[in-house]
């Protein structure tokens, strides 16, 4: 498992080592150093966030924008991800998750990744964005190209770029349609995006597409991956599962602990200057990886860090990042996870692994499939 491999690296190499993938980069391996890096965009720019690709021909917004410009984008986007708005979607999400799981119950088995984890958050997201649900399969193919094409080098970068161009081309068409037929009552993000302004000026189309692209990547894949690891844990830890079944009110606490123990997003930054950073001799322009997985599972930070303990209490984990770029979708993600765990365990309290799952790495770690079975 990727988490186990990173644990072993962390135990051997603290707080930093040199990773030789692609052109090479630093990799920080403890909570304190990772948090410090994320909180200092003046030292570590997020203009690049893929460690093996130091000069990318793309700019995802807002993640690849540094302060002070960055705050203006957060201001524009905040209302679509506020706690209040997310809460208003909860009943609809329960209904949707219930329907999807109800279909699976009589089957007695499923691939949790393809049949639920990738479907539910994607439908929620397309509704929020105002994208047609019937094109979901195509969206997921593009998503895979961008985030799940592994390795480094020109060929791999070309495939990723191809996926990004397809998504931006798609949004460009959608924006044209909304401009031609504006609906003043529409609440979805794309319908509103055509009116967004920064510093009193309309946002140019390139920046708008770069922002919709980032939302697309963040919205389709992350919750799916996080949910898959959560369910893998619960399928293989019956005592934790039994607690959720017996008392669903602990689900929000369980979600938080599962987020801490299985951080799926591994990010990176580019050094803005020569410096000694926690003993590491950094040169301006160096890339460094800041893996949230190392932060969340750091034994120096949390006792028994690699063990899931629903009674752990508040952990200030970094699974949603830290500093100015902390995840904008964290309320939505938490709610989606809680909704699925609640609706699933109400209907399918007992289940087990039908097959050993396989994983993918990259920027967002995830499972390729998670075959579960239960008594019909």
Question: Among 18-26, 177-185, 212-220, 278-286, which window interacts with ligand HEM (CB under 6 A)?
Answer: 212-220
Considering the rule CB under 6 A, would residue 231 count as an interface residue with ligand HEM?
no
Nearest-approach distance from CB 118 to ligand HEM, in angstroms: 13
The only residue of 228, 267, 289, 335 in contact with ligand HEM, by rule CB under 6 A? 267
Q: Are 262 and 233 in contact (CB under 8 A)?
A: yes
* By CB under 6 A, residue 321 contacts ligand HEM: yes
Contact set for ligand HEM, span 38-57 (CB under 6 A): 38, 46, 49
Question: Which of 207, 203, 186 is closest to 194 using CA atoms?
Answer: 203
Question: What residues from 71 to 110 belong to the interface with ligand HEM (CB under 6 A)?
Answer: 74
Using the 8-state DSSP alphabet, how is residue 351 labeled? -
Long-range contacts of 157-162 (CB under 8 A, 24+ apart): 157/53, 157/56, 161/57, 161/58
Scanning the chain, the segments in alpha helix (DSSP H) are 2-12, 31-38, 69-77, 83-88, 90-104, 112, 119-129, 136-147, 154-180, 189-193, 205-236, 238-246, 251-261, 292-296, 330-347
Candidate residues 50, 167, 215, 254; the one interacting with ligand HEM per rule CB under 6 A: 215
For residue 226, state whether it binds ligand HEM (rule: CB under 6 A).
yes
d(CA 34, CA 212): 28
Select 29 or 319, whichever has its Cβ closest to ligand HEM.
319
Residues between 143 and 202 that touch ligand HEM (CB under 6 A): none
Q: Is 279 left (phi over 0), alpha (psi -120 to 50) or beta?
A: left
d(CA 297, CA 178): 45
Q: Give min distance, CB of 105 to ligand HEM, in A.
A: 25
* Number of residues located near ligand HEM, criterion CB under 6 A: 26
Question: Between helices 90-104 and 330-347, what is the axis angle to 10°?
Answer: 40
Angle at 361 between CA 266 and CA 42, to 5 degrees: 20
Nearer to ligand HEM, 22 or 67 (CB): 67
Distances (CA, A) of 223 to 46, 98, 118, 155, 338: 22, 17, 8, 28, 11
Of residues 157 and 222, the one with the C-beta less far from ligand HEM:
222
Q: Is 62 in the site for ligand HEM (CB under 6 A)?
A: yes
Span from 83-91, 195-203, 211-219, 280-288 in contact with ligand HEM (CB under 6 A): 211-219
Q: Which is nearer to ligand HEM, 163 or 296 (CB)?
A: 296
Least separation in angstroms between CB 363 and ligand HEM: 9
CB of 255 or CB of 374, closer to ligand HEM: 255
Closest CA to 52 of 30, 29, 20, 28: 20
Between 218 and 244, whose beta carbon lies closer to ligand HEM?
218
Helix, strand or coil for residue 55? coil
- Within 13 Å of residue 150, how many CA atoms lie on the same side as its CB? 7
The stretch near ligand HEM (CB under 6 A) out of 14-22, 51-59, 239-247, 264-272 is 264-272
Q: Kindly identify the residues of this chain, within the stretch 281-320, that bind ligand HEM according to CB under 6 A.
A: 292, 319-320
Which stretch, 88-96, 98-106, 155-163, 322-330, contacts ligand HEM (CB under 6 A)? 322-330
Q: Which residue is nearest to ligand HEM (CB)?
A: 329
* CA angle centred on 196, ends 195 and 200, rounded to 5°: 110
Binding site residues, ligand HEM, CB under 6 A? 38, 46, 49, 62-63, 74, 214-215, 218-219, 222-223, 226, 264-265, 267, 292, 319-321, 325, 327-329, 332-333
């Amino acid at each position: 498992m990727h988490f186990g491999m990173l644990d072993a690296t962390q135990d051997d190499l603290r707080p930093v080592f040199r990773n030789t993938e692609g052109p090479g980069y630093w990799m920080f391996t403890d909570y304190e150093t990772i948090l410090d890096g994320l909180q200092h965009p003046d030292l570590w720019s997020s203009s690049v966030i893929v460690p093996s690709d130091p000069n990318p021909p793309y700019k995802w917004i807002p993640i690849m924008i540094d302060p002070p410009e960055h705050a203006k984008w957060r201001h524009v986007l905040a209302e679509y991800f506020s706690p209040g708005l997310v809460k208003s979607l909860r009943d609809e999400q329960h209904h949707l998750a219930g329907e999807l799981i109800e279909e699976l119950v009589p089957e007695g088995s499923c691939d949790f990744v393809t049949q639920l984890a990738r479907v539910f958050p994607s439908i929620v997201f397309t509704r929020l964005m105002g994208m047609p649900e019937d094109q979901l399969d195509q969206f997921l193919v593009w998503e895979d190209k961008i985030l799940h094409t592994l390795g480094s080098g020109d060929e791999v970068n070309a495939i990723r770029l191809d996926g990004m161009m397809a998504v931006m081309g798609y949004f460009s068409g959608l924006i044209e349609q909304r401009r031609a037929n504006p609906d003043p009552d529409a609440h979805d993000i794309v319908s509103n995006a055509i009116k967004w302004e920064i510093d009193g000026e309309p946002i140019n189309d390139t920046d708008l597409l770069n922002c919709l692209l980032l939302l697309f990547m963040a919205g389709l894949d992350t919750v799916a991956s996080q949910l898959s690891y959560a369910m893998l844990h619960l399928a293989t830890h019956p005592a934790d599962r039994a607690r959720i079944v017996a008392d669903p009110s602990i689900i929000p606490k369980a979600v938080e602990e599962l987020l801490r123990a299985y951080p799926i997003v591994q990010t990176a930054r580019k050094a803005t200057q020569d410096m000694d950073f926690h003993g590491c001799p950094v040169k301006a322009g160096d890339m460094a990886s800041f893996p949230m997985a190392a932060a969340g599972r750091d034994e120096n930070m949390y006792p028994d860090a690699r063990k899931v303990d629903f009674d752990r209490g508040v952990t200030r984990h970094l699974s949603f990042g830290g500093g100015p770029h902390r995840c904008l979708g964290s309320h939505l993600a938490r709610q989606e996870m809680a909704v699925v765990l609640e609706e699933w365990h109400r209907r399918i309290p007992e289940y087990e692994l039908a097959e050993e799952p396989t994983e993918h790495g990259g920027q967002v770690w995830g499972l390729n499939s998670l075959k579960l079975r239960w008594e019909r």
